[in-house]
Amino acid sequence: MKVGVLIIAHDQLGQVLLDTAVGTLGTLPLPAKTLAVSRDEDPDALLARARALVRELDAGDGVLVLTDMYGSTPGNIACRLLDDGKVQVIAGVNLPMLFRVFNYSDLDLGALTEKAVTGGSAGVLQCGEQPRPQQ
């Protein structure tokens, strides 16, 4: 079994990130879906769809939910899915985070969550500056 991945983001951002990962990697080693959140959709209806996607993606090892921005509608929906041991949520999804997740697809949910956070934050750099050593 493998951890499922759900990206909940504004409009088509999640799908574009997922399509980019597929285009680069050629295939996805984990089951993954996206939920696009538009301004005029009912948050309760979106939450119901998100819960259905979590059930679909969870093959027994849990689901990692990635969202674009904490405190936004997608982030709030994602946080309502939190279930310790079954669903973990990370806000601030970016492409380096997504690649880290798919490159460490053999990890359990807890370890994969840690890899996603470190991969996402390590991928944010100020260009033109010498990178600082990681601590």
Output the 3-class SS for 85-131.
CCEEEEECCCHHHHHHHHHCCCCCHHHHHHHHHHHHHHCCCCCCCCC
Region 18-36: what's the mean pLDDT?
97
Residue 114 — φ and ψ, nearest 5°? -60, -45
- Domain spanning 4-120, CATH architecture: 3-Layer(aba) Sandwich (3.40)
| Predicted pLDDT at 1 | 73
| Predicted pLDDT at 25 | 95
Domain ranges, ordered by start, for the chain? 4-120
The 10s digit of each residue's pLDDT in 37-78 is 999 999 999 999 999 999 999 999 999 999 999 999 999 999
Residue 12 CB contacts under 8 Å (≥ 6 apart), including other chains? 36
pLDDT confidence bin for 133, thresholds 50/70/90: confident
| Predicted pLDDT at 70 | 97
The rounded mean pLDDT for the chain is 95
